Amino acid sequence: MSPQRGAPDDGEGLTSPHSFVELMKLERLQEILITHPDTAEPERIERFRSVAVPYPPGQGTRAFGGHVYAQSAYAASKTVSPGFVIHDMTGSFVLGGRLDTPYVFTVRHVRDGFMYSTRAVDARQEGKVCFSCICSFKRDERQNLFGHQPVSAQERFDSILSAKRPEDQEISPSVDADWWIENVRKGNIAEIEFPGLDVRKVDMQDYNQADDIKQHPEKYRQLTQYRLKGSPDEDPNATLEQIREREEAGNYDNLYACAHMYSSDRNSLLLIPRALGIKNWTEMGSLTLTVILHRHAGALRMIDWASVSDGQTELPKKWFVQEGWTPQSAENRGVHESHLWSPEGALLGTSLQDSMLRLRKLGKPSRL
């Protein structure tokens, strides 16, 4: 692979670390100020470069789209004042991400308000924009005077989720398609570990085999359970007490928000052909992805402090649930939606993804 940073003779190669905080690590580059004749203040642009290689689904040559999505948000979070936490992001995937060159993120300050701040982010590889998004942050208003949500996945699917512990569920495959899973089972393919998060695919086969669901693909459901890998702290020597103090201060909240975003894209589009009963396709790709985080603070955080015992050195992690489905497909496109549920059953987030799905390659248009 090409070197990750610096001049061409830099010998440091790309790495794919285990922990999420290492996976999201950024190198700050120079800041740019652009003066416009019709504005009183110059436009401020902050720049960052990725350090770690993204995960390649299916051991291919393209990067997992959830990586650039989450890391764009993480770069944006480095430009806001303390107390501002991601609550909403919409991004468009322009080009497939490469593995042999780092991402360079340009973060433009759109607005810095008292309660909300907005950033526009472009992710580039070798100068070409491959992803572009608008990311919004907000402060904690310290008010919770109303609220509603649907019945949680934990309650609706209690018999399925309680049948196995999350860590006993199958690890989410690199490509959630029958042909891939069968080749892994036969030993023809050795899967690469998914970095950053431990993601488990809940066995929903009996549920989805019902005739009503086969006749109504929008009722198809796939649950996954996920937890953080590694410590949320950049300091590998940070103690449990230090990590707890920093978490309570909100130091990791934007990292956690990015972890939920990262997980929301894991095998998301592969649910669509499964729900439709489609076994083969020629092209699939994400077009746009929106993630809204409805809750912050405790609902967002990923360390299970209630499980910490005296003398414990390992960080116990919370298991979150993603409930995915597809409401619509047509014209070589499909929509994936999901709810992200906290362990307590609070609706933490919602994702909405527009995607390309082609069953056969498009013919070249004839010349007139």
Tokens matching residue 136: 């919004």
Give the H or E element holding residue 65: helix 65-77
Range with the poorest average pLDDT among 2-6, 63-67, 86-90, 257-261? 2-6
Distance, in Å, from the CA atom of 249 to the CA atom of 271, rounded to the nearest integer, reads 37
Rounded mean pLDDT, 211-230: 97
Per-chain mean pLDDT for the chain: 92
- The residue type found at 12 is E
Tens-digit pLDDT profile for residues 313-340? 789 999 999 999 999 999 999 999 999 9
If pLDDT is split at 50, 70 and 90, which confidence band does 42 have?
confident
Range with the poorest average pLDDT among 40-49, 197-206, 266-275? 40-49
The answer to whether 97 touches 131, Cβ cutoff 8 Å, is yes
Number of domains in the chain: 1
Q: What percent of the chain has pLDDT over 70?
A: 94
Report yes or no on 170 lying in a domain.
yes
Q: What is the pLDDT of residue 363?
A: 66
Tens-digit pLDDT profile for residues 249-297? 999 999 999 999 999 999 999 999 999 999 999 999 999 999 999 999 9
Give the H or E element holding residue 67: helix 65-77
Q: What is the pLDDT of residue 217?
A: 97
Nearest one of 174, 152, 151 to 66, comparing CA atoms: 174
Range with the poorest average pLDDT among 192-196, 288-292, 308-312? 308-312
Q: What is the pLDDT of residue 13?
A: 42
Report yes or no on 345 lying in a domain.
yes
Q: What is the pLDDT of residue 353?
A: 98
| Residue 239 confidence (pLDDT) above 80 | yes
Tens-digit pLDDT profile for residues 73-86? 999 999 999 999 99
Report yes or no on 366 lying in a domain.
no
Q: What is the pLDDT of residue 165?
A: 97
| Residue 145 confidence (pLDDT) above 60 | yes
Rounded mean pLDDT, 151-179: 96
Report yes or no on 222 lying in a domain.
yes
| Residue 301 confidence (pLDDT) above 70 | yes
Q: What is the pLDDT of residue 10?
A: 36
- Residue 257's CATH number: 2.40.160.210
Distance of CA 36 to the CA centre of its chain: 35
Q: What is the pLDDT of residue 226?
A: 98
Q: What is the pLDDT of residue 164?
A: 96
> How many Å from the N-terminal Cα to the C-terminal Cα in the chain?
44
**What is the residue range of 337's domain?**
20-141+151-358
Q: What is the pLDDT of residue 360?
A: 86
Rounded mean pLDDT, 24-45: 88
Residue 364: how many other CB atoms lie within 10 Å: 6
Side-chain-facing half-sphere of 117: CA atoms under 13 Å: 21
Distance, in Å, from the CA atom of 256 to the CA atom of 297, rounded to the nearest integer, reads 10
Report yes or no on 367 lying in a domain.
no
Report yes or no on 129 lying in a domain.
yes
Q: What is the pLDDT of residue 4?
A: 36
Report yes or no on 125 lying in a domain.
yes
The answer to whether 33 touches 109, Cβ cutoff 8 Å, is no
| Residue 180 confidence (pLDDT) above 80 | yes
pTM for the whole structure: 0.92
Torsion angle in degrees (nearest 10) through CA of 74, 80, 86, 88: -100
Report yes or no on 303 lying in a domain.
yes
Q: What is the pLDDT of residue 39?
A: 75
